[in-house]
Structure 1
Amino acid sequence: MDQAVLHFIESAARASDVAQLNESFLHTMRGYGIGLFAAAVLDPLRLRPEHFLASNYPSHWIEHYTDRGYDKVDPVVLRSLSADQAFVWTEPQAPRPAKQLFDEAAEAGIVSGFAVPITLRNGRHSVVSVTSDLAGDEFERLMKSSGRAVQTAIYCYHDTLCDLAGIGGHRPSPIPKLEAEVLRWLAAGKSTQAIGEILCMPECAVERHVVNALERLNLTSRDHLAAEAWRRGYLSA
């Protein structure tokens, strides 16, 4: 685990309000060349200002974005509604409305970004997008080396933000010891087959532990599961 991300997870656990959490998150992201971020609940019908859970985007940009209805042509939003994997975005080869959106965003310092779509088992869609003023090629190289660490920090940020905002749902009961051990190896990037070999159990048993943990934590993504296991302290021992 990246030390900067571990430090952020510890800082996030101590945050008493959203302002403290945002400050810690931004400090961590700046270490990766990222200066702006936005977290929003996605509504398939319309993205409005109140759907932004937190952001340090210029306020005039959010107002302009929502007033112009840019969510209807924004490739990041449209992809996030159906994607289950994080992705890097840069100015696309897209129809004119999206091109205009990206040109105007660049004027606000939003040139390239890394988006993490988040879908919970209750059907709620959200996305956290972190952005930079770096050009596309340079930002893609940065994310190739740091994307996994940034993604883990984003998952932790999103879940802590939801807890502080009172929309995090119920707190699950402690997980069994063996399930925690499976998650420890999952967080280390091991496949279910490799975990089974390490723990001397059938792969189907490993898979069952992973599925149980996903259901317990109301998650759909295994990357998210690994990050949430760190955040809740299941892997700290």
Structure 2
Amino acid sequence: MSSRQCQAEIAIMRMIKHPRVVQFYEVLASKTKIYLVLELVTGVGELFGLLVKEKGFGEDKARFFFHQLVEGVKCCHEQGICHRDLKPENLLLDEKGQLKISDFGLSSFHDSSGEVTLTSSKMMHTTCGSPNYVSPEVLDGEGYDGRKADIWSMGVILYVMTTGRLPFDEPTTSELFAKIQTASFTFPKGVSGSFKDLVSKVLVVNPRERLQLAEIQESPWYRAAQASAN
């Protein structure tokens, strides 16, 4: 990580104070190294590890974690911050089984004026994130709204948490990106109609037509009775 990237990550993490985000405490430096002092998360580790162990959570447990993910990302976006690398490996679970968003190394600021669509001069142009979770507009390389890209990644995470498999998972990068850029995916048997409806409205190629966080929170699936994670 470059010095500039490190400074940006420190600035971003200083801003975010929320139970669903790993907390930043201070920075220490020597002549050759920089040390970030972060909250100690002493749970089972990454959400990814639990997903692999349980091979998917089903809808109730996925909803439990998705609520917390939405709360954390909403706080970031309200502070003018886009994470840009949301994936189960960057979601930690504490000793109470509560989710915490981590790793802001690829994060960036966006215009926080409240505009839904950014003008071209305010749009991001850096291709980043993990291939299976990256949004179509990031791959296009013509500029994107980082908030919309985060929401796409959240849709992929929701699909993975519920079903135990990726919506876009091909043997080659070119095939994978082709699927993502056309939002070509299917649902396994047994998932609810309200789950299909929500995911289908989040994994939308055109970011202008993609649900916003407030709309996700108003969806029938999101508003269904929340079950315990246990």
Structure-1-length-normalised TM-score: 0.27
Structure number with the higher helix fraction is: 1
Tell me which structure has the larger Cα radius of gyration.
Answer: 1
